[in-house]
Amino acid sequence: MVLTFIVVILLALGGGFLGAKLSGGGGGGDDASAQGSWLQEIKDRGVLRVGVAISPPHTVELEDGTFGGPNLIPLQNLADALNVKLETVPAEWKNIVAGLQAGRYDFAANLDRTLERATAVQFTNPVWDYPAAMAVMADAPYTTVDDVVTSGNPISIVTGSAASGGFPRKFPEANYQESDAYTSSLQTLLAGRVVAITGDLPTLVSFAQENSDVKIILPDPDVYRGFAAYGVPATADARSVETVNIAIERAINDGLMDEAYAKVGYVTEDQLGEAGLLKQ
């Protein structure tokens, strides 16, 4: 009984010590052990680097040329806790994983957890989930994905996008045209070079909100459902990754993500009809 009591006391004291270290107290080897060696490297550098590919409203380019959006909130909170600066690094979906592997940044933002990517990098817990969708012009004669596919007309897919990639896997017979980014994909639709574009629902909703002539088609059943997390290096230690997961958990459970989504006019799949964004 006495021995058990002593063990409990020692564990409590140890937990308090680790908590103090993670909050910024102390230094040296003990500090690295408390918060994880990978996060300690970031702390020593003084900069937390995030690779960002555009996917509005979650990741967007700001007026000053840097990147922001709701997806970066947990990482900004983590940077604040580590007392370092958050720095965004431009990337494209076709090379965002390669940039992470090459050490250009510490995190790949808004990255879907796919089996192919998991062979190259690690993933944190998901920050959000979404369905893949399709967008067409409001006056187009299509109301379903099958309508678009069987028309034989070109459909835009974004190279490296997991959401876009769901369509060729499901409908390999369709006529696809590749784009390097979601914004250039939208331009091909507006210019009439394709009859539909594909991608994650929030990005396409953002386009439809900015362009009243663009409407959304939801696949039924799902073509793809993504669980977007942060990609981290394959060598990141488990203690560091768990700390990042806690930052994600707190941002979600404290309502910070919902507040940010509301500010950017985020519309969920069951709200599309009411918002007038659904192709009918």
Residue 86 CB contacts under 8 Å (≥ 6 apart), including other chains: 47, 48, 50, 72, 75, 76, 79
Instruction: Verify that 221 and 255 share a domain, yes or no.
Output: no
Instruction: Verify that 181 and 118 share a domain, yes or no.
Output: no
Both tokens assigned to 55: 């996917």
**pTM for the whole structure:** 0.76
- CATH code of the domain covering residue 46: 3.40.190.10
Q: Return phi, psi of residue 41, to 5°.
A: -60, -40
Both tokens assigned to 91: 């990337």
Under the phi-then-psi rule, with left for phi > 0, alpha for psi from -120 to 50, and beta for the rest, what region is 199?
A: left
67 assigned to some structural domain = yes
Average pLDDT (187-201) is: 97
What is the dihedral sign for C-alpha 89, 49, 232, 245? negative
Average pLDDT (246-269) is: 93
Instruction: Verify that 116 and 151 share a domain, yes or no.
Output: no
* Cis peptide bond N-terminal to 90, omega within 30: no
Instruction: Verify that 100 and 137 share a domain, yes or no.
Output: no
Domain count, the chain: 2
Average pLDDT (36-62) is: 94
Instruction: Verify that 201 and 252 share a domain, yes or no.
Output: no
Q: Is the pLDDT of residue 31 over 70?
A: no
Q: Which domain holds residue 100?
A: 29-128+227-263
Instruction: Verify that 149 and 166 share a domain, yes or no.
Output: yes
3 assigned to some structural domain = no
